Amino acid sequence: MCMHDEAATHYIDMIDQTTMGHRFLKEEFGVTPRIGWQIDPFGHSAVQAYLLGSEVGFDSLFFGRIDYQDRAKRKNEKSLEVIWQGSKSLGSSAQIFAGAFPENYEPPAGFYFEVNDNSPIVQDNIDLFDYNVQDRVNDFVAAAVSQANITRTNHIMWTMGTDFKYQYANSWFRQLDKLIHYVNKDGRVNALYSTPSIYTDAKYATKETWPLKTDDFFPYADRENAYWTGYFTSRPAFKYYVRLMSGYYLAAKQLELFKGRMNSGPNTDSLADALAIAQHHDGVSGTEKQHVANDYSKRLSIGYKEAEQLVASSLACLVESASFTGCQNPVTKFQQCPLMNISYCPPSEVDLNQGKNLVIVVYNSLGWRRNEVVRIPVSNEDVIVYDSEGKEIVSQLLPQAEVYASLRNYHVMAYLGETPAKAPKYWLAFTVSVPPLGFSTYRVSAAKGTVAGPTRSSVYTYQTSETSKIEVGQGNLRLTFPPNQEKFTNYVNTRNSVEEQIKQSYLYYSGYNGTDDEVPQNSGAYVFRPNSTYLLKHERQVPLTVMRGPLLDEVHQQINPWIYQITRLQKEKEHVEVEFTVGPIPIDDGIGKEVVTRISTSMETNKSFYTDSNGRDFIKRIRDYRSDWDLEVNQPIAGNYYPINLGIYVKDNSTEFSVLVDRSVGGSSLADGEIELMVHRRLLLDDSKGVAEALNETVCVFDDCKGLIIQGKVYYRIDPLGEGAKWRRTVGQEIYSPLLLAFSEQDGDDWINSHILTYSGIDSNYRLPDNVAIITLQELDGGKVLLRLAHLYEIDEDKDLSAMASVELKKLFPRKKIKEVKEMSLSANQERTDMERKRLEWKVEGSFGSVDERVLRGGLVDPEELSVELGPMEIRTFIVYFESESDIKPFDV
């Protein structure tokens, strides 16, 4: 549906939007595209090459933007065109012929033919003064020879056009027609209207060998001081919105399938459309103008609203299934709380003292059971929580931080146009346990009249002095904060004896204003160009606020007037959750700022760190180093930034230190043992790369605007060496697919008698292996189902889980009988066997026969067994056909 970004996009979104586009092309035009055409994105990802390239069946992948130093070297070595193996797990089994153009995606200089362009047209009327056929032919041949000199084989490609061209196509084609005619008449070169496919076939036919390329093309700099690493973080709120919607869409499609898809009426189509277009390289990248960003958000919001209805009615059907008779109009009304992050959730804020019960259905879209603490805002002080079996469970009340009340009031007015009711006083936390692809039901009631018991919530809060250490953590993980907040915090995991001194701080980079340059370069929406760095001092006057309880501990810190942070430790988890609220970033000094949080340890990490590629493979990064060329370091900060969608980690001889993120951000390890993430940017100048606006986001109530505030989370953990992957992969998946909460209220407590309280969309005795996720489960036209299974581990990533996994398809559809399963290309527009049969066999330079590869892929699916194997990093896509259309209804158990 768009030429997606490759840095700030999650692989599931990339697959979804590509699937939507490829299936559209197939259905409307019968076309199966052969070529990837990522000419504009600002750097190129490994996932693009191996998943969205090779695994969708492309024969080649072309792009315009690679690092200027890299390009120079590749021109010199005729290595702009390569065989790219983006995944070390899948190796040559998922390689692709890939070509970077010599100059972005420009025509040769002097061959621009837009109405306003200045290139000489071909004047072939010999009676006119500007007759210039031979001149233009000579220019053409010279440009062709020049490019041929940096290209292997005799074939070159010209991209005749660039941004915003062909607004009046005739002005181009008139000239191109003439050029082709006269150049071929001249005969020195042969010119033709071509396509990337024709070009690819011509290259392939030469039987040339090509250099091997691994990893990716990040970060991208188009010149000294212009590192396009700012956009990894630009528009962090929008990036979070996209991520939130992405996880919600995945869950909503499951619920849509369980209920039965309706082509009209609430469905997930609008959300799918909005999410697809938002993956654009000037979309989720944050590099669009403000009004375009607004439009993306509006589309997402519209899509969400419709999906929210679908989710509510699907859950209603599922809880009512005892009385199910078609379920177009279930009576149960569920509400959801998309603004829960600012503690706004009207259904949970209801006054329970009036005899109402709050019913919470918690849906889990993952393939394994989850036990997690959930938090909801409540107004009552004295409540009891019941689980699906009607048992009282332990819960904990945490006072709402004061800053959240103003956040809530301002943003509810800004986004909903209404003044919210009085802010709820508490967060109510309790642990839920939810089956795979299913739900559990919880009930909250006022605890009136009953005596306090072990499960009854109460509040444990106190302010610390500055003179004592504070230890928090009820379980294995303990953090000990020093009296001086500038000093190190002690991190201990008592289970595995990991201990480390860590220090978390906030800093900002001043955005460069470019005035000193010969060619000015500001920091802007695309480019990160820091001027100098400032550490943001903690406000020592403000003591820590610590909340402790049976389920979790929180440490609240007002870092400075515009940064608030909560450090949260769940008793049953061994990671630290940091919730930060950053902004409005002050700009009254006229200086744009880019805010980072930095977590330092004493680990000796040898300049190395690891960042994910679109949330999938981890790629090793080495500070001030590129594997493809001798790096000239011009921007020691910006030039070491990489996109992070899932997480980043460093390791030393004994431990690994991992940080996971809740959205796409830029990050790095600028010193050994240290990880930093850029969480917010507010800039006052344009960086002259096309957006033509300063990245200065605001939120307005009527005409009263203030700088955007970002609330987000990072999660970190220290593991013994070799044990971090399991946490990163499992919790990473849980962050991507948070539990979905739906609220209802009921007088009395007869819910338990009249509703289904737990449910699983798959066989209730089955769960997916720990190393596999269902990344797509979606009903297609005609009742067939699109199923995509992803192995979550790379080769050698985990001693147990980097192994072949197996999924029993029959267990996934317990209520239906599978008639047939077709394995498809990743974008589901052709059968996998067809795709493999057409695959071109490219020759890799220096590779003679035996390659030391241990690629593991699952075998063909036996039509009877219907067991699917998945090797490390393998994603397999199926269309599942069922015996009868009516079987698709999930309720005829």
Give contact residues for a copy of itself (rule: CB under 8 A).
115-116, 129, 164, 167-168, 171, 295, 298-299
Task: Write down the least CB distance from residue 278 to a copy of itself, Å.
Answer: 14
Beta bridge partners of 789: 774, 876
Computed on alpha carbons and rounded to an integer, the radius of gyration of the chain in Å comes to 29
Task: Write down the least CB distance from residue 299 to a copy of itself, Å.
Answer: 8
What are the helix and strand counts (H, E) for the chain? Answer: 14, 45
Is 302 in a helix, a strand, or coil?
Answer: helix
CA distance 131 to 123: 5
Structure tokens at 722: 């070799």
Query: Cis before residue 584, ω within 30 degrees of 0?
Result: yes
Query: Cis before residue 219, ω within 30 degrees of 0?
Result: yes
Task: Write down the least CB distance from residue 167 to a copy of itself, Å.
Answer: 4
Task: Write down the least CB distance from residue 284 to a copy of itself, Å.
Answer: 19
Element (H, E) at 473: none
CA distance 153 to 298: 48
CA distance 745 to 442: 11
Is 496 in a helix, a strand, or coil?
Answer: coil
Question: Is the CB of 273 or the CB of 652 nearer to a copy of itself?
Answer: 273
The dihedrals phi and psi of 777, each to the nearest 5 degrees, come to -145, 105
Question: Is the CB of 129 or the CB of 848 nearer to a copy of itself?
Answer: 129
Residue 436 in contact with residue 464, Cβ under 8 Å? no
Task: Write down the least CB distance from residue 171 to a copy of itself, Å.
Answer: 8
Question: Is the CB of 295 or the CB of 831 nearer to a copy of itself?
Answer: 295
Task: Write down the least CB distance from residue 686 to a copy of itself, Å.
Answer: 16
Question: Is the CB of 114 or the CB of 471 nearer to a copy of itself?
Answer: 114
Task: Write down the least CB distance from residue 168 to a copy of itself, Å.
Answer: 4
Task: Write down the least CB distance from residue 685 to a copy of itself, Å.
Answer: 21
Task: Write down the least CB distance from residue 684 to a copy of itself, Å.
Answer: 22
The secondary structure of 383-401, three-state, reads: EEEECCCCCEECEEEEECC
Task: Write down the least CB distance from residue 237 to a copy of itself, Å.
Answer: 20
Beta bridge partners of 535: 507
Question: Is the CB of 210 or the CB of 241 nearer to a copy of itself?
Answer: 241
Question: Is the CB of 29 or the CB of 129 nearer to a copy of itself?
Answer: 129
Q: DSSP secondary structure string, 556-624?
A: EEEEETTEEEEEEEETT-SSEEEEEEE-PPP-TTS--EEEEEEEE-----TTEEEEESTTSSEEEEETT
Q: DSSP secondary structure string, 655-717?
A: EEEEEEESS-EEEE--STTEEEEEEEEE-SS--SSS--S----EEEETTEEEEPPEEEEEEEE
Task: Write down the least CB distance from residue 164 to a copy of itself, Å.
Answer: 8
Question: Is the CB of 115 or the CB of 452 nearer to a copy of itself?
Answer: 115
For residue 50, the Cα-to-chain-centroid distance in whole angstroms is 17
Task: Write down the least CB distance from residue 181 to a copy of itself, Å.
Answer: 24
Structure tokens at 231: 């956009």
Question: Is the CB of 168 or the CB of 193 nearer to a copy of itself?
Answer: 168
Question: Is the CB of 114 or the CB of 723 nearer to a copy of itself?
Answer: 114
Nearest-CA neighbor of 880 among 888, 889, 890? 888
Is 213 in a helix, a strand, or coil?
Answer: strand
Question: Is the CB of 164 or the CB of 848 nearer to a copy of itself?
Answer: 164
Question: Is the CB of 298 or the CB of 537 nearer to a copy of itself?
Answer: 298
Question: Is the CB of 224 or the CB of 295 nearer to a copy of itself?
Answer: 295
CB atoms near residue 710 (< 10 Å): 24
Question: Is the CB of 421 or the CB of 692 nearer to a copy of itself?
Answer: 692
Q: DSSP secondary structure string, 247-266?
A: HHHHHHHHHHHHH---SSSS
Task: Write down the least CB distance from residue 291 to a copy of itself, Å.
Answer: 10
Place of tokens 């039509």: 863
